[in-house]
């Protein structure tokens, strides 16, 4: 969601790379390792996920990543049909929380999916407990089995990132202020996980996210891809990055901001929701908005002028929508509750209350020393503001997408047709303007219907490694609104089938 506020014990020596640790932070000196120690056989992978403790963390390190440790434990919850795990990615004084669920189908053979929500600053617990996870929170005291979870056919991670989001935190106020800085942490974690749990080596790995994930995922996948060269050089196994999947992503302001006019003033999905005089004012302001954005945010890096351009576009193009009272995540319905409290979905408050329960936190292994007395927050405004001040959103993420396509990484951009904030028109225009060798073929491809159970699910266009799809009747959070269609989309994508 886009934030509008924008074995349990190994050798006890300097060669230890997996040790049992309590909830206290692990202090094993990982800095003693080097690529040489890996090459000479001093690295011993933990290997068996099922050997992990349910009561204590096992901490994993790797000689190629001396400043990183991964604490992980079995945390059977949410889906009684599979094993689940939780833990922290420890980057010195920074700690990123994650969940991992095995596949319901064949965990020893199925692909692996990485998932992050957006914001920037929103917890992936929203994706887990509201959208595509193995269970959905239906009340502050209960969760129910989700038959349409993406772990029907894949092993899947949910990660609270960057630092400060969800159950992730820093000891002394450290923070990450750009997507590229966050990418380093994610790439290191991915490598450590695959190196330790060797049964996943070589598995197809898919990096997925929604909303500001349109900014995160292209960069994170690029870092994972580039890191593979270093892994190979050190004698390690590269991560089999196979695809990226972006749902309702905001990847490119140059094409997304003009689309706000189309979505609120034209009958692209629903009838216009803004009055005529306001639409005329927006239309007149658009050329200045677009030119200013291009000149100050993309052609140059004039931070003062770029910030002013973003402010102008927000005031003239985006702000009128919020006077309507409609849901920016689903333009077909009004916002349910104050957006600052519910994000237009009251279930988000139930999720927060559920994650405040002491027994839930104990099961998950949440670091109680830090979170004792702190309420769970779905989105962190401070993180959002920090990224906004750093103008992180204006980086042209299509450059990453094009580069990944050139390297054979399959790319799926799917969009709920009712979303306003990261809508299908802006995403389609971004892809039609994408500079890559398959551009002409993609533009020439037919925009056609795709079907689920004999009914039209949406529209799709595909060429080479790139696929675009809309989902009828869905808003910003496709798996929440259309769970069956969402799962079918992902199953076909993993199986490399046409929509």
403-441 residue pLDDT tens: 999 999 999 999 999 999 999 999 999 999 999 999 999
Per-residue model confidence (pLDDT) at position 423: 97
The phi, psi pair for 17, rounded to 5°, reads: -125, -5
Supply the pLDDT for residue 16: 33
Q: Which of 104, 131, 116, 103 is nearest to 162 (CA)?
A: 116
Name the pTM for this structure: 0.91
Catalytic residue list: 211, 419, 476
Segments of the chain scoring below 70 in pLDDT: 1-43
**Residue 344 φ then ψ, to 5°:** 75, 5
Q: What is the predicted pLDDT for the residue at 42?
A: 59
Q: Where are the beta strands (DSSP E) in 68-216?
A: 68-74, 84-91, 94-101, 111-116, 135-139, 142-145, 154-160, 169-170, 205-211
What residue ranges do the domains of the chain occupy?
Answer: 1-6+84-254+261-269+336-499
User: What CA–CA distance (Å, rounded) separates 43 from 131?
Assistant: 38
Of 318, 312, 276, the closest CA to residue 291 belongs to: 312
The pLDDT value recorded for residue 482 is 98
Fold of 1-6+84-254+261-269+336-499: Rossmann fold (3.40.50)
SS3 398: helix
Instruction: Tell me the pairing of strands 455-463 and 466-471.
Output: antiparallel
- Taking only the tens place, the pLDDT of each residue in 47-77 is 788 888 998 999 888 888 888 888 999 998 8
């Amino acid at each position: 969601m886009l934030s509008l506020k924008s074995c349990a014990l190994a050798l006890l020596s300097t060669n230890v790379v997996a040790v049992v640790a309590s909830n206290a932070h692990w202090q094993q000196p990982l800095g003693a390792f080097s690529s040489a120690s890996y090459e000479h056989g001093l690295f011993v992978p933990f290997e068996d996920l099922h050997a992990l403790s349910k009561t204590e963390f096992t901490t994993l390190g790797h000689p190629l990543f001396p400043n990183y440790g991964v604490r992980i434990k079995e945390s059977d919850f949410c889906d009684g049909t599979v094993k689940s795990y939780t833990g922290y990615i420890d980057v010195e004084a920074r700690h990123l929380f994650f969940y991992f669920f095995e596949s319901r189908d064949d965990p020893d053979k199925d692909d692996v999916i990485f998932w992050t929500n957006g914001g920037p600053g929103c917890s992936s617990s929203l994706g887990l407990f509201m959208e595509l996870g193995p269970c959905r929170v239906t009340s502050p005291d209960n969760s129910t089995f989700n038959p349409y979870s993406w772990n029907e056919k894949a092993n899947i991670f949910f990660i609270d990132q960057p630092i400060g989001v969800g159950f992730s935190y820093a000891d002394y106020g450290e923070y990450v202020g750009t997507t590229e800085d966050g990418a380093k942490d994610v790439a290191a974690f991915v490598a450590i996980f695959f190196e330790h749990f060797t049964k996943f080596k070589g598995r197809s790995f898919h990096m997925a996210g929604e909303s500001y994930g349109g900014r995160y995922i292209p960069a994170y996948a690029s870092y994972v891809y580039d890191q593979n060269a270093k892994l190979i050089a050190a004698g390690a196994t590269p991560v089999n990055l196979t695809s990226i999947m972006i749902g309702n992503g905001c990847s490119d302001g140059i094409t997304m901001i003009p689309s706000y006019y189309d979505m609120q003033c034209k009958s692209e999905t629903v009838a216009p929701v803004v009055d005529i005089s306001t639409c005329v004012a927006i239309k007149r302001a658009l050329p200045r908005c677009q030119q200013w954005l291009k000149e100050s945010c993309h052609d140059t890096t004039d931070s003062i002028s770029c910030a002013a351009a973003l402010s102008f576009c927000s005031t003239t193009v985006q702000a009128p929508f919020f006077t309507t009272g409609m849901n920016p995540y689903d333009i077909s319905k009004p916002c349910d509750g104050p957006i600052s409290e519910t994000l237009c979905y009251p279930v988000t408050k139930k999720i927060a209350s559920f994650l405040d329960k002491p027994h839930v936190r104990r099961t998950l292994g949440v670091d109680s020393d830090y979170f004792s007395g702190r309420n769970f927050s779905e989105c962190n405004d401070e993180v959002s503001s920090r990224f906004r001040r750093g103008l992180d959103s204006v980086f042209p993420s299509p450059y990453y997408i094009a580069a990944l396509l050139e390297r054979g990484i399959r790319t799926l951009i799917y969009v709920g047709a009712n979303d306003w904030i990261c809508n299908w028109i802006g995403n389609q225009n971004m892809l039609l303007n994408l500079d890559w060798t398959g551009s002409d073929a993609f533009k020439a491809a037919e925009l056609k219907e795709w079907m689920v159970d004999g009914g039209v699910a949406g529209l799709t266009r595909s060429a080479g490694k790139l696929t675009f799809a809309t989902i009828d009747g869905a808003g910003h959070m496709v798996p929440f609104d259309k769970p069956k269609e969402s799962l079918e989309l992902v199953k076909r994508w993993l199986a490399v089938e046409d929509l």
